[in-house]
A and B are shown apart, each in its own frame.
Chain A
Amino acid sequence: GENVEQHPSTLSVQEGDSAVIKCTYSDSASNYFPWYKQELGKRPQLIIDIRSNVGEKKDQRIAVTLNKTAKHFSLHITETQPEDSAVYFCAASKAGNEKLTFGTGTRLTIIP
């Protein structure tokens, strides 16, 4: 089955700086890659997603890049703010097998 690895497990950045979280996946048939933000005790919230037919997607301060050849995708957060502090999860799924496989998570701390 699919295996998703995520790095780093923890990340601290100064407010205003950029944060990058990287994920790799094992199943070349995976074609949907969402990123979720989860606050303690809450449900995951989708912040951005990308499908395999595009290489990059941006939404204001958040962007995701996908390299299908290398089977990795990354989350980029620019101009970080204290409210960006949370745990972020990447995930992957493929058509015909809808289940999401999650990465191990990254605890992002924004230092004021």
Chain B
Amino acid sequence: EVQLVESGGGLVKPGGSLRLSCAASGFTFSSYSMNWVRQAPGKGLEWVSSISSSSSYIYYADSVKGRFTISRDNAKNSLYLQMNSLRAEDTAVYYCARHGDYVRAFDYWGQGTLVTVSS
């Protein structure tokens, strides 16, 4: 069974940093592109970043470019999101999502971890 479990969320002050993790199991993690998608309270989904299976290709939304860094450790079946210079508008539930290979879409999602940026 495919499982994605996010962790690392919490309360942080504006300008601060946080590192999110996503532990994957139930599939060959190293074969899939992975993504972070966020959802501000009461708002819609926003794609944040993606990383290819071997980390060769990395993309970011304009809203986080230069502040967030996506990475992965295929030996540990883990995905990360380093978030720096956090702003109030970064407050959201952050989801880890797998991009399918045959099914070309976000086919599995984690339960999300809440990041709150507030003084």
Partners in one complex: no
Q: Using CB atoms and an 8 Å cutoff, list the residues of chain A in contact with chain B.
A: none
Which residues of B line the A interface, CB within 8 A?
none
